[in-house]
A and B are shown apart, each in its own frame.
Chain A
Amino acid sequence: MDIKKQLKEGLLTKNPVLVQLLGMCSTLAISTSLFNGLGMGIAVTIILICSNVLISALRKVIPSQIRIAAYIVIIAGFVTVVDLLLQAFLPELSESLGVFIPLIVVNCIILGRAEAFASKNGVVASLLDGLFQGIGYTLALVIVCVIRELLGAGTFGGGLLNGGEGIRIIPEGYPAMQLVMPVGGFLVLGFVIAGSQFLMKKLETRKMDKEAAK
């Protein structure tokens, strides 16, 4: 088990959103403010950790023919728990994320990690994988949220800072409203992924140059 490698994979080289391109629906739909992004990211991380741990613990019990159905039921159970907890304790977040909380059930990150990792590895490794992949998802989501909120609404930290109004950076009337609309989701995510591909390529060539210099 290699914690450092797992951390690096979750955050960068195998980032669920930027590299594996999983969980697009929620990333695009709710990334309109920092509050939404953090809330969704934390909810998904918690569910991912719980489902990874349980699936990994049961990996020898679940027959492989019906494993997908079994995973979905386990995931749906945890999603229901988180959904009800949010409704009870954070009604504002629950309202603003709306139907996308129950839709975490079909978020491919969770089923993807269950199939690709938790069904093959031990409990502790699966727990860490859930944590790191969850953080990677949250990180990518927050980047998209901050860009969209800044350019689309002209604020930072809406729903969270400054009594829920957010800190105004671009004066009212100037921000491009379209960016908080669906169009902006596609465009911003496209640019963010392109940017990350560009950076990763740069890092790789630099690494290769260094090795060549040796």
Chain B
Amino acid sequence: MEELSMQALLGILISALLSENFILVKFYGICPFMGVSKKIDTALGMGMAVTFVMALASAACYGVDLLLKALSLQYMQTVVFILVIASIVQVVEMFLKKAVPALYKALGVFLPLITTNCAVLGVVLVNVQEGYGFLASVVNGAAGGLGFTLAIVLFASVRERVDKADCPECFKGFPIALITAGLLALAFTGFSGLKIF
């Protein structure tokens, strides 16, 4: 497994942040994107927690995938990966509770939700499909998480205002939020085709 150059890693980082943004371009993790975006602070907390778990899960699942390949059990990928993610979330939760209580307090409520965030399982499956090496997997995971944070914070800040705005009765709440997200996605299509190096 050859490791990628610094430039290629930077390329992965930029594309995961902007042109291939996990939420607005690839549609991973829409549920938390819609659910936890009513306030900027909670959106930021969720984003940070997701970034952390995504990077950790990418690293762990890279090792697990090697093991599965060695045992030629690749068809068990989905089952094993989701178990790994669920246990990582659990361990992170327990670790933070003991070691960094302040961070735990800030992220506490969001941690259990992350298991069913499809961005995490999505990034792990993409890593395996693309055949990324260890470093590339971790960078892709972390950058995907940062892209998630960027989108959810931007969206939350728009949404705080949209909620107070006057709109037709039947659009109130969720539909107008979806349309706002659509416009945000439209802005992000401006980044498509952006290639560095």
Interfacial residues, chain A to chain B (CB-CB below 8 A): 21-22, 24-25, 28-29, 68-69, 72-73, 76-77, 79-80, 83-84, 99, 102-103, 105-108, 111, 178, 181-187, 189-191, 193-195, 197-198, 201
Chain B neighbourhood of A182, CB < 8 A: 24-27, 185, 189
B189:A181 contact, CB within 8 angstroms: yes
By Cβ-Cβ distance, the 6 closest A-B pairs, closest first, are A186-B182, A190-B178, A29-B27, A194-B175, A198-B170, A187-B182
Chain A residue nearest to B178 in the complex (CB):
A190
B186:A178 contact, CB within 8 angstroms: yes
A69:B86 contact, CB within 8 angstroms: yes
Which residue of the partner chain, among A72, A103, A184, A185, contacts B86 with CB atoms under 8 Å? A72
A80:B78 contact, CB within 8 angstroms: yes
Contact with A along B166-194 (1 / 0, CB 8 A): 00111100111111011101100100000
* 11 chain-A/chain-B pairs, Cβ below 8 angstroms: A21-B34, A24-B31, A77-B79, A80-B76, A99-B126, A106-B118, A182-B189, A186-B185, A187-B179, A195-B170, A201-B170
Which residue of the partner chain, among A83, A105, A201, contacts B82 with CB atoms under 8 Å? A105
Contact with A along B1-33 (1 / 0, CB 8 A): 000000000000000000000001111111100
Which residue of the partner chain, among B31, B77, B79, B171, contacts A108 with CB atoms under 8 Å? B31
- Which residue among A22, A25, A80, A193 has the maximum number of chain B CB atoms within 10 Å of its CB? A25
Chain B contributes a number of interface residues (CB within 8 A of A) equal to 42
B48 in contact (CB, < 8 A):
no
A24:B30 contact, CB within 8 angstroms: yes
Known: A25-B118, A80-B76. 14 other contacts (CB 8 A): A28-B27, A72-B83, A72-B115, A76-B78, A80-B77, A99-B122, A102-B78, A102-B125, A105-B82, A106-B117, A106-B118, A178-B186, A182-B26, A183-B182
| Total inter-chain residue pairs, C-beta < 8 Å | 117
B138 in contact (CB, < 8 A):
no
